[in-house]
Chain A
Amino acid sequence: MMAKTLQRMGDGRMVEMTEAEVRKDIEEGTKDAASRAKIPPLSEDEIKHILDIYTRPERIVSVEPGNEVVLSHDEGTVKINAGVCGGAGLGIDCGRMVASELYERALGADIIEYGHIDYSFKPIRPILADERILVERALLVTTAPFLYGAMPNLGLYTQPEGPFPNPTELLNKGLIKEARESGEGMVEQAVNDMVYIASGIYEAGTDAINLDTTGAFGDLDFAAALTATERLKKKYPDLCIEMGMAGEFILGIHGTITYDGVRLAGLYSHQQVKLAEKAGVTIFGPVCNIVTSRSCAWNIARVITFTKACVKASKIPIHNNMGMGVGGIPLNDTPPVDAVTRASKAAVEICQLDGV
């Protein structure tokens, strides 16, 4: 009888699989990614490498000394005290400044990320002055590079929270022209907000801005983030901009919106990064979301196939997004360490990542 190995599913459940079954999942995962994005699947050596990592009996695996990578975060420090006000986080009532110090001194973060509890650009506009003061003060007690993050989150610009009719609702009524016009209005307002807010935060002293979950509202969201990046880089050439994505391809909500003459809908990571580079993005964070009904081995093969193509196409550093439900890591609030270390090691070693 073939020996079984302990594996995780995308929802975090532990299951037993034979080595042959794990291998089959890896092969199927890479084939799925390759066929979707029209990119090469993983090589035999790469498949074997993933198989080796995922069938090891140790709980924790790691990279060899010298191969460590930089970690940047989305909303990192906010997650320490979030939950106090109703958000999802550790709920330690310590304030963001103390959270920044904890992140650097106790947790050894390479990069400090600050953010508003809502973590979207739109709600920051009326309280920018307060955020600037907090950023200035946090910079005085930290030494690591300082990132201020928020999501373009174009959904907030739709009614009732925002002024624009919801393009997806208009589409469902068959009003395609109206949906596109509304979406274009949303992009314009979001770009104004992002440039205004990021300018204020940069002038307060931050080293970088993180545009997180770019593409969450599809091609409209991506268009806004690219345009905002371009304007910010013209204004502040030394500003570092990290762009983290929302999915492996850009959802076509508008369907025909372009940037630099390229239609944004349907672009995969290796295509997204080229436009990000053109706009002036400094660090790019591709995303591949977990499929909870498949094994982590299947998922990581898929992640690595997409990300490898992205790294190959890119001239800027790539920090692969990895965390709850992303990058081959299970969908758990506190993902299991065996799954996290396996996914990280495999992605760093095969994709030659600059960071995570």
Chain B
Amino acid sequence: MGKEQQELLAEAKKSIISFDVDKAKEIAKKGLTLGITPAVIISEGFVPGITEVGDLFDRGQLFLPELILAAEAMKAGTTICEAALPKSELKEKKKVVIGTVEGDIHDIGKSIVVSFLMANGFEVYDIGRDAPIENFINKAREVKADVIGSSALLTTTMEGQKKIEEELKEAGLRNKVKTIVGGAPCSQGWADRIGADAYAENAVDAVIKIKKLTGLS
């Protein structure tokens, strides 16, 4: 790859970190003109940008409204690139159903995970807080979800995450969807104990783990 193309990819990353929607669009168009494949503009330009945004958020150097603005820049740039992709290379967005389990009304962590997932190109169905277990199952069935994510902040409500596993088996869906758990009282040990596929320590970790679960990394 030539110097001009490498510089363009660096600019692509910068456009996301500076939440510059117009710049992201301009870079996407210019990159295609320079002959960089759309997939490379996304994976080596825009994705490193949103990844750095996630890291800055995790360190308290960037805040939720800015994450949303970065996500808008990301969407602007990737939309142009995806339009240029051959139909055979166009991948369907991975779908995530996410909610806070029944009896638990804490949702700030879950909402931040939603923001991060949307910024990273996932199709997210947020079923809200205090969500009955059947809502997770029904929504996952309805949208043909790839992943179910559940959040619990209390030791008394985390049992709901175990119930999701049981209900999925009873519904014959367990092999069709991956599960990930999160929330203050959760741990990898808890995920292992209930049979969840993954545990996320925080929002940044949730994106990494869900990308892995869905074969995106």
**Interface residues, chain A, with chain B CB atoms under 8 Å away:** 10-13, 36, 86-88, 155-156, 161, 166, 168-169, 171-172, 174, 176, 179-180, 216-219, 249-256, 265-268, 289, 291-293, 325, 331, 333
Contact = CB atoms under 8 A, between A and B. Distances in A.
Contacts of A36: 59-60
A292 B112 CA distance: 20
B201 A292 contact: yes
Contacts of A256: 65
Contacts, number: 99
Nearest to B67: A171
A331 B126 contact: no
6 contacts: A171-B68, A176-B65, A254-B63, A255-B65, A255-B66, A293-B188
Given A252-B60, A265-B60, A292-B187, A168 B65 contact: no
B23 interface: no
Contacts of A180: 65
Nearest to B105: A161
Q: Can you list the 4 inter-chain pairs with the closest CB atoms, starting with the nearest?
A: A252-B63, A168-B111, A249-B60, A11-B187
Given A168-B108, A172-B115, A176-B68, A266 B187 contact: no
B107 A168 contact: yes
B88 to A, nearest CB: 32
Size range of the chain B interface in the assembly: 20 to 34
A266 B201 contact: no
B182 to A, nearest CB: 11
Contact of B156 (A88, A171, A251, A267): A88
B118 interface: yes
Which applies to chain A's interface (DSSP): helix, strand, loop or mixed?
Answer: loop
B155 interface: yes
A172 B126 contact: yes
Contacts of B184: 289, 325, 331
B141 interface: no
B180 to A, nearest CB: 15
A155 B201 contact: no
Nearest to A289: B184
A36 B61 CA distance: 9
A253 B189 contact: no
Of the listed residues A168, A174, A289, the one surrounded by the most CB atoms of chain B closer than 10 A to its CB is A168
Interface string B115-155: 10010000000100000000000000000000000000011
A176 B66 CA distance: 9
A252 B201 contact: no
Given A171-B68, A172-B68, 15 more contacts: A13-B189, A36-B60, A155-B105, A168-B107, A168-B108, A168-B114, A169-B126, A171-B64, A171-B65, A218-B64, A252-B60, A253-B108, A265-B63, A291-B201, A325-B184
B188 A155 contact: no
B195 interface: no
Contact of B106 (A155, A265, A325): A155
Nearest to B71: A174
Contacts of A166: 107, 111
Contacts of A88: 154-156
A267 B59 CA distance: 10
B65 A216 contact: no
B111 A266 contact: no
A218 B63 CA distance: 10
B197 interface: no
B155 A255 contact: no
B60 A11 contact: no
A183 B126 CA distance: 20
Contacts of B112: 168, 251
Contact of B60 (A176, A179, A268, A291): A268
A218 B190 CA distance: 27
A303 B150 CA distance: 28
A325 B153 CA distance: 12
A156 B105 contact: yes
